[in-house]
Amino acid sequence: MDLKPRLRSASRSTTPRGPHAETLVCRVPTSAEAEVLSLPRGTPVVAITRRAYTGARRCVEVNEMVLDSSAYTLEYLFNA
């Protein structure tokens, strides 16, 4: 059974078509975050909360991430 057509269909039907918003906060990690991420003492994290909205501006997805600030480069492309 070829699942590719079904997966493409599911992807189209569940992908939010409206705007997305992100909030980034640079902060000291919690002790649990530092342990899970194996962070050296004093390494800050970047906490990102990403929200996806429908065309009617209804929030349909929230993604929370905590990144080791020394391991990532964040780049954004947008029109102003």
Instruction: Give per-residue pLDDT as tens, 20-52.
Output: 999 999 999 999 999 999 999 999 999 999 999
Place of tokens 């997966």: 7
Two tokens at 41? Answer: 């003492």
Strands (E), 1-80: 20-27, 45-53, 59-68
Of 50, 41, 31, residue with least CA distance to 70: 41
Place of tokens 């078509």: 17
Percent of the chain at pLDDT exceeding 70: 79
What pTM was estimated for this model as a whole? 0.73
State how far the Cα of 24 lies from the Cα of 49, in Å rounded to an integer: 7
